[in-house]
Amino acid sequence: MSQTVPLPPGRAEIVDWLSGLGERPPGSNRIDSMELAWLVHQIEQRYAVELTDDQLDRIKTIDDAVAVLAEVLSSHG
């Protein structure tokens, strides 16, 4: 029985996760350090993966997070 690779979260899902910290300014794409910590926690809990320092350094915006998570989850599994 093969294990299915989870679909990476999209932009809307990441914005939804970040809303767990409170209101985000409309149209804001940047991710601050607190949001990044929260996002990493969500990813590690939901997908049982650990991001490398290099991957974390590449996440500055929501779009960066979408790209990095797609990469991580496609190679995990």
Give me the pLDDT at residue 63, please: 95
* CATH code of the domain occupying 11-75: 1.10.1200.10
Q: Specify the amino acid at residue 49.
A: V
Name the nearest CA neighbour of 69 among 52, 19, 29.
52
Give me the pLDDT at residue 62, please: 94
Around Cβ 11, how many Cβ atoms within 10 Å?
12
Name the nearest CA neighbour of 21 among 49, 45, 42.
42
The enclosing H or E element of 48 equals none
Model confidence at 1, pLDDT cuts 50, 70, 90, reads very low
Could you tell me the pTM of the whole model? Answer: 0.82
